[in-house]
Chains A and B, each alone.
Chain A
Amino acid sequence: MPGLEIVSRSSLLTWMAFVPLIGAAAIIALPRASRGAHRWVALTTAAVPLLLAIQLFLTFDRATPGIQFSTQAEWIKSFNIQYFVGVDGISVTMVLLTALLSFLCIIASWGIEKATKGYFALFLLLETGMLGVFISLDFFLFYVFWEVMLLPMYFLIGIWGGPRREYAAIKFFLYTLFGSVLMLLALIALYFNVKDPVTGGHTFNMLAMMNQANHSAWLLNSGVRHILFLGLFVGFAIKVPIFPFHTWLPDAHVEAPTAVSVILAGVLLKMGTYGIFRVCYPMLPDAARWFSVPLAILGAINIVYGACVAMAQTDMKKLVAYSSVSHMGYVCLGMAVFNEAGFTGAMMQMFNHGCITAMLFLMVGVIYDRTHHREISGFGGLMMKMPRYSSLFSLALFAALGLPGLSGFVGEALVFVGAFRVYQTVTIISGLGIIIGAAYVLWMLQRVFLGPLNPKYEKLPDISLREMLSAVPIAVIVVLLGVYPPPIIDMIKVSLVNLLRHIPA
């Protein structure tokens, strides 16, 4: 994909990514017992990327598909590995999402009592890893951040998780590692077959990799490209997760502490689809086109299958986890259609699902903190006792079922609009997700919030101010973007249209 140029330079992204790391170091330096200090340091350090993200949102140039806010420096000279970061329309929304959710998750983690020092330090390390993945433009750097993020996640689930935390953490780790290996192989293959346009040597520079003029003859062989694509695709698909690689997700989500579930569902899943947009599509566009029909079918399976399985769950968190499978299906379907509506819809759905599912997990966490269980059938009539909580949760649930006026609808609608032109049957089948999605949401609403109040919960306090603080900002975004999506759409569309132009028909 020629034509992706660096249009502006800035150290903003570097600060954004590494301030949390400094914060993590500071927390490690603090004494073990000063829990308050851990929390406040974490909150302050997480606020920095958020503020920078706001600046990014305000100053991002929406008219160019080029790389903005980039920094480029030598890192490991002998392998021509660079520290090369920057954002374009594809990554910028993910950076915003990560900064926002990380900050809110720190607020949501206020109640953590077990080993706060380790928890918050790992959390900040995780933030660095996630931001790093989204801003890296050097494939090696990308891979490093990709793995950096894995480690804290493993410990966060494995130490602060629920009863089956070890199982879930190991499953998550192995699954992801399996994907990473495939990615690593493809990465090395690309490295040796892409020529640096300046020096003529090998390169990890993604922009160079995107330009097929730099590809070696071997790499231009379509069989090779298909295999490479599949390797990268499986690596990313595990993260999405695309059926049948999804079973780590319910376990990890259910066992992880609330804030980590939020990050898992809100940000980590997006890394899969982001990787496909960032790596697979621009570097191997012809292979992407070759794989579009299977991808669309996988998307449809994700949508319908995820929704059906979600409906059969009795645990709230599991239900939300499977709803994520279903919603990420829309992203896959949108990615498979290769038109502006589908791509924008997919990207939009990534951002919106990040917000909505984060809110859902936060809400489940609130009730879990109070009652220490999540059985849907164990509640009832909560609307009576906790009206504010119920309203917020309902808002998130309605956003999840794609109610117009809330942001979930925008992405879904665009995906449908884009997909219907291309794969009519697949889209019609996916449309069933509209019905089933409504079914499990309403079923849960009815059993948890409506009906007579379960007498056990006569004294349940309503949502607290701190819990509100973590959820209300997302609610505001969900409503605003649902009513008027251009603030986000305008950021992403130019890059996506540019990407689309470079994918052969």
Chain B
Amino acid sequence: MDPIISTALVILLLPLLSFVVLFFFGERLPRRGDWVGVGALGVCLLLALVIFGHFWGRHDPTYRIEQGWTWLSIDRLHIDAGILIDGMTAVMLVVVTLVSFLVHVFSTSYMHGDRRYSRYFAFLGWFTFSMLGIVLSNSLFFLYVFWELVGLASYLLIGFWFHKPSAAAANKKAFLTNRVGDFGFWLGILFFFTAVGSFRYLDLFTGVASGMLAGKTLTIAGVLLFMGCVGKSAQVPLHVWLPDAMEGPTPVSALIHAATMVAAGVYMTARLFPLFSPTALLVIAYVGAITAFFAATIALVATDIKKGLAYSTISQLGYMVMAVGVGGVVSGMFHLTTHAAFKALLFLGSGSVIHAVHTQEMPEMGGLRRKLPITFITFTLGTLAIAGVPPFAGFFSKDAILGDALAFAMEKPQHFLPFVLALLAAALTAFYMFRMVYLTFAGKPRDQHKYEHAHEGSWAITGPLIVLAMLSVCAGWGGWFGRFVAKPGPVVIDHAAHSMGAMGGMHGMSGMGGTSGMGGMHEMPASPSPAPALATDATSGAPTSAAPATGSEHAGHEGHTMMGEAAPAAGAATADAAEHAAHAAHIRHTAHRRAMLLSLLVAGTGILLSTLTYLRRSISSAGAQAALPRVYQLLNRKYYFDEFYGVVVGRGLFLWNAALAAFDKHVIDGLVNGAGYATRGISWLFGMYDRYFVDGLVNGTGELIRQFGSLARQAQTGRIQTYFLGVISGLVLLIILYKAVLMP
């Protein structure tokens, strides 16, 4: 086994071990076992950094290692479990283990003294295990498996304080909403499996590239797959669970509902990018853009700090999803990474605040910068990052996304909406995030009592904040991300390059190398693309597509933004394609320059407006509310989504089920019982006939014989003298007979 694979296995299994130990023996361990979780995650983080370093050194976003094991094999059906590690995985490993480790540390203080303290750490371990499973798995089947398992972890942790009815309702809602998405996700997986006959990503890419699934079916399958992302990454219209999920402990919100699990949907779409047809990508882009804008507007009026952050998370996830939709896999994943840092920071910061003042309502805070200086500084750094202020991390990633969206809009002017929505969302983000900072930390304390009692937490609280703040500042520097992730190009089947696999290796411009040998290990550096690389565009059924990037386009794109290292250039393309590519590259170049300016502009506007409203108070927020009562009401009620679902899904489903149950009880069972009654009725008739006619005959015969018997019985007196008289009479009779008849 490759050492990288075995390292990854250790990373995967350590949190599971932590879960098992803590679940069964946690209460009996010293310190109720928190050190087990923290220690396990610490080791995981170190190992993840080792893998990260390995890939850093490789400098090659197309390098991948894969190993599979047979899980199930029935005749021709094989389902394999496998690990796939490439740059994207390496980054995700660090993201997950890092945030998880910091949250573990944070929780030792935040959850101190909780009744189910060790259970909490057990669940965190379980979550980390499942999340790492999503990141590491090499097939849709196991992606789905771990997908559900993180759902369980999320369920357990949202409902951690299950004695609160709101928490008990929230975790159900989260799981169910996710299930709706997973229903589509699973069907999408079935579509792909049925067409291609394998769950393995690389086989699927090859299969789709070779047209085993094309046209409308491919689009439908892609959209269904995306439904999984809609559920998990809380996209409209399945976003309703995420704000409610804030019922969980705040560190959990930071880990699961901000940094990692909710990003799994984005990771999935990015990972499976080659499976989406251009139409499906368009759907993805629009859903993402709408979500980004729409959630940002709700965040404007939130008063609960965690709910505000939750809507901000939805909005940012919408950003990432949109990025993937417009073809910006790299920018989407990059934003995922930076977002994990600053959103975890913001959530942990809010946790620190909540820990200090014991409320989540921002109107009860204010002026906390003096009491919680470290939290204030780190929270502000996170806010600057998310608002897209250079040179903080969020600026680079958000700018990359906006650039991709603008390029998309410039290539296809009819689809300008995603870019516009994203731009507006950027402005709104800057606005509401600063509003949050001002309301919480600036001004005068609005609740003096709470203010008095507030104090900064221990190092376990502040330490993670500082680490994350540092990352929020510098995670965007240096264009390092291009070392790890490159946009997967169109997949081409190349029979010549690799003879070992049955299906052959796959090489787009990004060299999706891989063979389909079972249980084998594949180590495949990028190889020069063969000439017909671009021709496969048609096979994926997309005449209007600009999504599959060409080599030079890609290089231009990456080169312009922050990735100094362009992926190794693809081989020679045809002249036409080259021209097209050059054109596309030009568009991208322009787009990114414009997008950067625009994004700076809108972010600045947002911050300015927010400052004027909430710090300087020169614009009255109450006045704005009063001026637009309808809009305020609409936002405050979150566009009435919950009410709508409450009526349609909750009430409707309830009525439907009750109706079916009544049908079952009265109609189906009624038929059965009716058949029973009918049988009994007929039986009664037969019984009557039997009793009075058939039995009458039988009884009549009996009666007759009985009567006769009682008559004959009279002769039986039991007196010898009677019998003797008979004997004598008989004798006399015989003698007379003898005399009279026989001897006349």
Contact = CB atoms under 8 A, between A and B. Distances in A.
Contact of B148 (A243, A313, A404): A404
Nearest to A428: B187
Given A312-B657, A420-B190, A428-B187, A340 B74 contact: yes
Q: Is the interface of B mostly helix, strand, loop or mixed?
A: helix
A305 B656 CA distance: 11
B76 A451 contact: no
Given A308-B660, A311-B657, A420-B190, A446 B168 contact: yes
B162 interface: yes
A80 B361 CA distance: 84
Interface in A61-83: none
B705 interface: no
Interface in B69-109: 71-72, 74-77
Nearest to B656: A308
A417 B190 contact: yes
Contacts of A6: none
B163 interface: yes
A200 B183 CA distance: 55
Contacts of A451: 162-165, 168
Interface centre among B72, B152, B155, B169 (most CB of A within 10 A): B72
Interface stretch (A137-145, A463-471, A482-490): A482-490
Interface in B173-202: 175-176, 179-180, 182-183, 186-187, 190-191, 193-194
B152 A384 contact: no
Contacts of A246: 668
Contacts of A233: none
Interface in A177-218: none
B387 to A, nearest CB: 38
Contacts of A497: 74-75
Contacts of B664: 247, 305, 309
B176 to A, nearest CB: 6
B163 A384 contact: yes
A340 B77 contact: yes
A174 interface: yes
B661 interface: yes
B653 interface: yes
Interface string A301-316: 0000100110111000
A450 B180 contact: no
Contact of A312 (B168, B169, B661, B672): B661
A452 B75 contact: no
Interface stretch (A46-54, A120-128, A363-371, A430-438): A430-438
Interface string A36-62: 000000000000000000000000000
B76 A442 contact: no
B661 A313 contact: yes
Interface in B134-189: 141, 144-146, 148-149, 152, 155, 159, 162-165, 167-169, 171-172, 175-176, 179-180, 182-183, 186-187
A427 B193 CA distance: 14
Contacts of B165: 451-452
A451 B247 CA distance: 13
B647 to A, nearest CB: 16
A416 interface: yes
Interface centre among B146, B190, B668, B676 (most CB of A within 10 A): B190
Contacts of A312: 654, 657-658, 660-661
Interface in A435-454: 435, 438-439, 442-443, 445-446, 449-453
Contacts of B661: 308-309, 312-313
A434 B668 contact: no
B74 A435 contact: no
A341 B77 contact: yes
A432 B549 CA distance: 37
B77 A405 contact: no
A403 interface: yes
A305 B660 contact: yes
A450 B159 contact: yes
Contacts of B171: 446, 450
B669 interface: yes
A116 to B, nearest CB: 33
Contacts of B148: 403-405, 409
Nearest to B146: A404
A383 interface: yes
Contact of B187 (A405, A431, A446): A431
Contacts of B183: 431-432, 434-435
Given A383-B162, A416-B186, A340 B669 contact: no
B74 A398 contact: no
Contact of A442 (B164, B176, B658): B176
A83 B653 CA distance: 53
Interface string A240-262: 00011011100000000000000
Interface string A343-379: 0100000000000000000000000000000000000
A450 B162 contact: yes
B653 A489 contact: no
Nearest to B173: A442
Contacts of A239: none
Nearest to A419: B190
B176 A439 contact: yes
Nearest to A422: B194
A37 B691 CA distance: 48
Nearest to A314: B661
Contact of A434 (B72, B75, B182): B182
Contacts of A420: 187, 190-191, 193-194
Given A405-B149, A431-B186, A432-B183, A446 B676 contact: no
Contact of A405 (B145, B162, B164): B145
A285 interface: no
Contacts of B167: 450
A427 B190 contact: yes
Nearest to A402: B148
A452 B165 CA distance: 7
Nearest to A343: B74
A129 interface: no
B149 A404 contact: yes
Contacts of B141: 413
A421 B192 CA distance: 11
Nearest to B195: A421
Contacts of A132: none
A438 B660 contact: no
A410 B142 CA distance: 12
B55 to A, nearest CB: 29
Contacts of A442: 155, 172, 175-176
A417 B193 contact: yes
A497 B73 CA distance: 12
Interface string A456-497: 000000000000000000000000000011100100010001
A381 interface: yes
Contacts of B172: 442-443, 445-446
Contacts of B191: 420
Contacts of B176: 435, 438-439, 442
Contacts of B162: 381, 383, 449-451
A344 B141 CA distance: 17
B190 A344 contact: no
A113 to B, nearest CB: 32
B730 to A, nearest CB: 56
Nearest to A500: B75
Contacts of B152: 398, 403
Interface string A383-415: 110000000000000100001110001100110
The 9 closest A-B pairs by CB, nearest first: A450-B168, A312-B661, A404-B145, A312-B657, A450-B162, A420-B190, A247-B669, A340-B75, A311-B657
Given A309-B657, A446-B171, A450-B168, 7 more contacts: A171-B672, A381-B162, A420-B187, A432-B183, A434-B183, A451-B165, A497-B75
19 contacts: A247-B664, A248-B672, A308-B656, A308-B660, A311-B657, A340-B75, A341-B74, A384-B163, A403-B149, A405-B148, A413-B141, A417-B193, A421-B194, A427-B190, A446-B169, A446-B171, A450-B162, A451-B164, A452-B163
